[in-house]
């Protein structure tokens, strides 16, 4: 606990840096800047960006990776690629970061909120089954706090509930909090139609504070996402959402170190589990035998009697 300037006792804020840095990241950034001092070279990001994208695609086992300046803009463009109408529905978990919901609303589609699984806090497949309709175009599954959602169950539900015009709803993964996590032996990022990652400052790996990536096996989607981030490549509408050269250079280093950083998080989380087990009536973070939790957050649930009276803090 810390005491504020007003004298209140509060828990400290989350650390401002998730994927921590070493001299190697500093060296990569300096090298990118120094080589850009040549006026014939400049800060054009293309080659370093492609190198980072290719490495990231190999890491998660996807055919394509497309770098963006942030996960929010990346998700915006994935949803824009669906060309949603006002009646088109996108299912998303009610417990979520606001960015996922804002992207759905900004895409012009209809946001349908779904209940979380009480153990994992991820999208509950049983409730998805309840709310899915013939107007559903996509299921947006956020891997909350480092544990993968039940993607196989969501893909099965989508297959059994096709849209009359567009076919089965597409499963989009929001892996902003789960970079490096696994699901049934596969890396998150190679399961659904598209997966969005965040490299924001507090995330599991970070590219100088902001950045994002989309992975997909759909070549046409990857090509469209590249056009959208760069003014449409004079073919379609687009804007400027590219990642910088220095970000990509640092991202390559962070990616090489990601598993080691995640292993440290996992070790500390399991240490907390040992300390808290059988000491207080808390529901500790759920671990699934077939999914590697990477603990972006260590979330515990308190018993209902701890909630206090309605309307009080």
Residues 160, 129: Cα–Cα separation, whole Å: 10
What 3-state class would DSSP assign to 24? helix
| Residue 2 exposure: Cα atoms within 13 Å on the Cβ side | 6
Compute the distance between CA of residue 83 and CA of residue 108 in angstroms, rounded to an integer.
8
The pTM (predicted TM-score) of the whole model is 0.94
Question: Is the pLDDT score of 47 beyond 70?
Answer: yes
On whether the CB atoms of residues 122 and 147 are closer than 8 A, the answer is: yes
Residue 126 CA to residue 255 CA, distance in Å, equals 35
pLDDT surpasses 60 at 313: no
Closest C-alpha among 266, 245, 178, 256 to residue 215: 178
Q: What is the pLDDT of residue 145?
A: 93
Tokens at 167, concatenated: 């076919």
Q: C-alpha 62: how far from its chain's center?
A: 15
By the 8 A CB rule, do 170 and 185 touch?
Answer: no
Tell me the percentage of the chain whose pLDDT exceeds 70: 97
> Rounded distance, CA 90 to CA 15, Å?
32
Give CA–CA dist 222/161, Å, rounded.
26
Distance of alpha carbon 33 from alpha carbon 10, whole angstroms: 41
What's the distance, CA 93 to chain centroid?
14
pLDDT tens, residue by residue, 238-265: 999 999 999 999 999 999 999 999 999 9
CA distance 91 to 169: 10
Write down the pLDDT at residue 220. 97
Q: What is the mean pLDDT of residues 279-303?
A: 90
| CATH class of the domain comprising 24-254 | alpha beta
Return all residues near 280 (Cβ < 8 A) that are at least 6 apart: none
pLDDT of the residue at 119: 92
Instruction: Burial-class residue 13 by CB neighbours within 10 Å (0-12, 13-18, 19+).
Output: exposed
Among residues 177, 181, 180, the alpha carbon closest in space to that of 202 is found at 177
Cα–Cα dist 122/151, whole Å: 10
Condensed to tens digits (0 to 9), the pLDDT of residues 143-190 reads 999 999 999 999 999 999 999 999 999 999 999 999 999 999 999 999
């Amino acid at each position: 606990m810390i005491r504020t300037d007003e004298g209140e006792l509060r828990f400290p804020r989350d650390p401002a840096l998730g994927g921590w840095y070493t001299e190697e990241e500093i060296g990569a950034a300096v090298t990118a800047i120094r080589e850009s001092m040549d006026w014939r070279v400049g800060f054009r990001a293309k080659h370093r960006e492609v190198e980072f994208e290719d490495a990231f695609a190999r890491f998660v086992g996807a055919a394509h990776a497309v770098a963006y300046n942030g996960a929010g803009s990346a998700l915006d463009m994935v949803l824009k690629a669906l060309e949603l109408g006002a009646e088109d529905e996108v299912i998303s978990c009610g417990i979520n970061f606001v960015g996922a919901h804002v992207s759905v609303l900004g895409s012009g589609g209809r946001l349908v909120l779904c209940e979380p699984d009480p153990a994992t806090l991820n999208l509950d497949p049983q409730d998805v089954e309840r709310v899915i309709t013939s107007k559903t175009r996509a299921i947006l599954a956020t891997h909350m706090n480092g544990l993968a959602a039940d993607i196989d169950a969501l893909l099965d539900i989508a297959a059994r509930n096709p849209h009359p015009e567009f076919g089965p709803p597409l499963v989009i993964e929001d892996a902003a909090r789960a970079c490096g996590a696994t699901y049934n032996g596969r890396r998150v990022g190679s399961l659904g139609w598209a997966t969005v990652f965040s490299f924001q400052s507090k995330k599991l790996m970070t590219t100088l504070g902001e950045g994002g990536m989309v992975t997909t096996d759909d070549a046409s989607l990857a090509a469209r996402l590249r056009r959208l981030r760069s003014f449409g490549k004079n073919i379609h509408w687009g804007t400027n959402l590219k990642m910088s050269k220095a970000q990509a250079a640092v991202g390559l280093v962070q990616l090489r170190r990601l598993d080691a950083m995640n292993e440290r998080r996992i070790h500390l989380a399991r240490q907390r589990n040992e300390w808290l087990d059988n000491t207080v009536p808390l529901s500790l973070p759920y671990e699934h035998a077939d999914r590697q939790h990477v603990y972006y957050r260590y979330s515990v649930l308190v018993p209902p009697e701890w909630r206090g009276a309605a309307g009080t803090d």
